[in-house]
Chains A and B, each alone.
Chain A
Amino acid sequence: MSLRTHPVVNAIRESLVASHTQAGDTFYGWKLSVAKKQLAQTLMLGDSIVGLKPYQQRSVEDLSYTLFVYARHGEHQGVGNITLDPLQPFTPQIDQAFSNAQLASNPPWDLAQPSDAAYAEVQTADPLLVADLAGAHRGMQQDVAAKAATAEGVNINSAELFTTLTETYMETATGISASKQVSDIYFEIALEKLPLPNTEEVLQYKKALSIADANLGGFIDDAIAEALDIGKSNLPDTQDNATILVDKHCIAALLEALESQLNAQAEYQKGPHLLQGDLINTLERHPDSDALTVTLDPFLPVMACSTPFTGEGIPAEKGIMIERNVVKHQAVDSRMAAYLDRNVNAVCGNLVVSLGSASKNELIAQEDDCIEIVAFSSLLVNDSTLTWSSEIKLAKHYRQGKLLGMIKGGVVSGNIRENFSHFALSNESAVLNNIADAFSHALGYVGPSAMLIKAGVKIAGK
């Protein structure tokens, strides 16, 4: 059954129209968001015979209704959001949201209107998961267990597999109506090199929207290779200007923070922000440095930030945000357009980053001294100060391309805008999908698999 014609949605709509009519102009508008989820979740222990053995096996059904009511009172506008209880009458709940909306006093803005343009066709779900989520989940579970059973040289400690199919529907008082279906897979595996006991564990996790992109067999191979690669490790030297090589996870995290300052909301909040024409680098760009070009693309198939429409329901657009280190666009929604007297745009989507000219190995070989960060303990990026830091969980120390040894411990930190003063991107492409959760927003990334950072990095070690 379509969520648009679901009986509960019909009942909410009828109550909304009645409340809207009764309250008059103060009841300025509403947006209803419905999410229907089906989840399969398995927690597994390593097992010497069957590879991975489930010890917790769950399935979940979730149907939730979230309503935003907009009120215009005096010179102000407010929004009251509420999750609706389908077992209770809707009108008192809507009235409560309306009442709350009148307590929030913000400058007014016009709500998004339906567009004449049709929504683009964007593939956001894997047909195999749409057809049979439980069956597909079982199949992946069997595959990873079989793969784990054949692993050599490592001990598999545990794994988790979560598979989700989400159907969302949004409707607004202004006539916008949009829906999409999104699938996602989360898999993590923890393993260690034999012989035991061991104090160096590899924990890797993969997030993807499709079974093919998840490629769990290949992912397990990579995790095993990483574990087998681990040797004796030392603390790094303390350095005031270190050269490090980071992977796609780190590049995406740094760019996500940078991108947040291209959102017009950052300008409105009067905190740090970037405007059209600004340089992203704060130090003078080194003549040997690459230049950064970032495009937001919402139309890439089965990626985490692919979508036919924005959060307001406007048809999504692709756009260049940064070109050769210069800001080209801000992201501007209806509210910020009204507040900052700008034009609305619907540029959103996955981060697409231009490639560099050298391979990862060539980047390492060209440096006298370079630390490749294999894993951060916990990379924290501050999207206000655009600084970052983490303990080093595991790294490789190279001198003129030759591996000197492994590094563990110490703290590495940096300043993103200094980092982009002197850097080099690899010419090998990588894809990353982060599914939104309580910790982070959704993030899709297509771009270099590695980045050499030669400015703005400090290490506290020996």
Chain B
Amino acid sequence: MTTRTTFPQNLQPLRELMPTLLAHLESGHEQDWYAFVWLEQTNRLGFTAARSENTDLSSDRGMVFRIMANGVHYERSTNQLDAAHLQTLAKAFRADVEQQAGVITTPAYRPTTWADECAAGMGAETLVQLPEDLTTATEVTFGVRCTQLPEATSMKGLSTLARDLRTSLQQRASEYIAAHADAGLQPFADIMVMARQQVTVNVFVDREKNIAQVLPTTLFYAMAATATGHTSREVMGGMGGLEIAALSEQQQQDLIELGFKLNQAQKLVPGRYPVITGPDVTGVIAHEAFGHTQEGDTWMKGRSIAKDLREQQIRVGNDQASIVNQADVFAMGDDTHGTNGSYFFDHEGALARPQVILDRGHLSAPMTDLASALHFNAPRTGNGKRESWRRPLMTRQTNTYFTPGDQSVDSLIGMVDYGFLAMQAHGGMEDPKGGSLTAGTSYLEEIKDGKLTGRLFLGPAGGHVELSDPVFDLLDKIVAKSSTNNPDGIPENKYGGCGKYHKEVVSAGCGGPFILWENVNCG
């Protein structure tokens, strides 16, 4: 049975103050300006069971005032949230913008109304939570369905979860060493298990809407580290309660065996090979391939090759090359929970709606935040995000995935004479202007004559392996994709994060099916 997360009472006084603060910002300027007020709170609880045990309890809360005037988005942010200070700050900010913006020459943005939103349609999880008789003053709260509500999570509970799993993994490692006594295996340097839960609450208030969302994410991370520095890992994480924090018997066994095997892995001879990527690595390719390139602010700055390609209707991949960005992923693959890149509305109050950013090799219009949507007169797609209230807002991806295909994983493996399976992502980077891409994988598993051999390979220098090719070449080399059991057609998306170039870290899920690529440069 599932229950939705609810709005925390400690934030209710601030929520009730926000319309007043909005009035301080824009009252009398509605014809010239557009303003909103944003509140965020992130509470985090974590326990690490390892050679050094650690607890973590943090709460971060801040408010952003936005005034858009003459095409410039002015913002003032603070975490000093007493009512008197906020009112003083809002008034002072308004006065500053009046001085800086000068005579208004750019038409003011008119925010979308509830009627506009309903006419445009919205996801089922969003729609079902809308009260009837919506007005501009209606406080709407969107919650996520959880089996175990986060209010019930305690540090004690997390410590028990983490320690129990660590003990189980240590036991399995001892048994594995005993069962392979002739192999001379060395014990792991450490086995670490981290259990963490975070609840983020956002409130957005502009002249048309007063909306909030309560987003719980849970992460269960287990890692075995060898004395030579190699690590194997299993990550269970996503949007939901502690029900996510479980590793199956098979996952535990795989983690231990992988750790020992990595110590004996060979070094890859650099070259081009057929590669099958699992959802983790597939997701990184989706995110890096035409994810960043399709971010509206990157288009707006003239920094993306995608704008010209779309305008010239140049195809950039084969029939299998379809990528979706979707914020409202609350179930995927075989899982009933969503991923950590999910939300109901973005950090500028735009409701989440899925967008096909690459459709069988054809590029769509970009994902947008408010600034880039206005710049291109393009639809708002709900991709305005910021690292936190401390940082600027940019166009960012939510959950990016390749659409599924029609093959089984075994049949994909059966198509490979000699090649590799890449299961564990290890970073990635895009060049939106140059069209190159690199996706890392911690290791490769050999495929020979249509079967996995169990032999592992590290990079040529003994580290991770980089898969690297020009994006267009890569997307033209998709041979086949695996299918999904999800009736909505959303494949498995992994817990993840993203930096824009090298900073501004945000939550971002990514995933997709197993994909067989014809040949990829591996080094």
Contact = CB atoms under 8 A, between A and B. Distances in A.
A56 B73 contact: yes
Interface in B79-112: 79-82, 100
Interface string A354-388: 00000000000000000000000110101011111
Contact of A393 (B54, B390, B431, B521): B431
B40 to A, nearest CB: 13
Contacts of B150: none
B464 A389 contact: yes
Interface in B433-488: 433-436, 438, 440, 459-464, 466, 468-470
Nearest to A58: B75
A201 B468 CA distance: 18
Interface in A6-64: 39, 41, 43, 45-46, 54-64
A415 B442 CA distance: 16
A391 B436 contact: yes
Contacts of A391: 429, 436, 438, 466, 468
Contact of A85 (B61, B62, B438): B61
B521 A106 contact: no
Nearest to A339: B52
Given A201-B433, A409-B470, A460 B461 contact: no
Interface residues of A, number: 85
Given A56-B371, A380-B440, A458 B434 contact: no
Nearest to A83: B58
B368 interface: no
A414 interface: yes
Contact of B270 (A83, A269, A458): A458
Contacts of B389: 60
Interface in B289-344: 300-303, 305, 308
B398 interface: no
A415 B300 CA distance: 40
Q: Which residue, B72, B427, B499, has most C-beta atoms of chain A within 10 A?
A: B72
Contact of A57 (B47, B75, B79, B434): B75
A157 B303 contact: yes
Contacts of A160: 392
Contact of A100 (B52, B57, B72): B57
A77 to B, nearest CB: 10
A387 B75 contact: no
Q: Which residue, A158, A384, A413, has most C-beta atoms of chain B within 10 A?
A: A413
Nearest to A238: B270
Contacts of B440: 380, 389
A287 interface: no
A189 B496 CA distance: 27
A99 B76 contact: no
Nearest to A387: B463
Nearest to B13: A87
Contact of A389 (B393, B433, B434, B463): B463
Nearest to A203: B501
A410 interface: yes
Contacts of B305: 199
Interface in A103-160: 103-106, 155, 157-158, 160
Provide the main secondary structure of the chain A interface: strand
B55 interface: yes
A55 B72 contact: yes
Contacts of B248: none
B74 interface: yes
A62 B390 contact: yes
Given A60-B78, A201-B303, A238-B271, A384 B231 contact: yes
A413 B155 contact: no
A79 interface: yes
Contact of A378 (B230, B429, B433): B429
A1 to B, nearest CB: 14
Nearest to B460: A458
Interface stretch (B172-180, B221-229, B234-242, B415-423): B221-229
Interface in B388-418: 389-394
B475 to A, nearest CB: 16
Given A81-B56, A201-B303, A384-B231, A192 B433 contact: yes
A322 to B, nearest CB: 19
B392 A45 contact: no
Interface in A312-340: none
A96 B52 contact: no
Contacts of A454: none
A447 interface: no
Nearest to B10: A88
Contacts of A408: 434, 436
Given A55-B71, A78-B53, A377 B436 contact: yes
B463 A413 contact: yes
A413 B426 CA distance: 14
B77 interface: yes
A104 B53 contact: yes
Contacts of B56: 81
B523 interface: yes
A270 interface: yes
B303 A158 contact: yes
A103 B521 contact: no
Contacts of B393: 56
Contacts of A458: 270, 460-461, 523
B387 interface: yes
Contacts of A384: 225, 229-231
Contacts of A97: 57
A103 B55 contact: yes
22 contacts: A45-B300, A56-B73, A58-B77, A61-B80, A62-B78, A100-B155, A103-B159, A268-B52, A269-B189, A270-B189, A271-B189, A378-B438, A385-B462, A391-B438, A391-B466, A391-B468, A413-B463, A438-B499, A438-B505, A460-B271, A460-B521, A460-B523
Interface of A: 39, 41, 43, 45-46, 54-64, 78-83, 85, 87, 96-97, 99-101, 103-106, 155, 157-158, 160, 190, 192, 196-201, 203, 205, 238, 240, 268-272, 377-378, 380, 382, 384-391, 393, 408-415, 418, 437-439, 456-461
Given A192-B302, A457-B461, 11 more contacts: A60-B390, A63-B79, A83-B58, A105-B53, A269-B190, A391-B436, A391-B466, A409-B469, A412-B523, A438-B387, A439-B503
Interface of B: 47, 51-62, 71-82, 100, 155-156, 159, 189-190, 225-231, 270-271, 300-303, 305, 308, 371, 387, 389-394, 426-429, 431, 433-436, 438, 440, 459-464, 466, 468-470, 499, 501-503, 505, 521-523
The 3 A-B pairs with the shortest beta carbon distances in the complex, nearest first, are: A460-B523, A387-B463, A460-B270
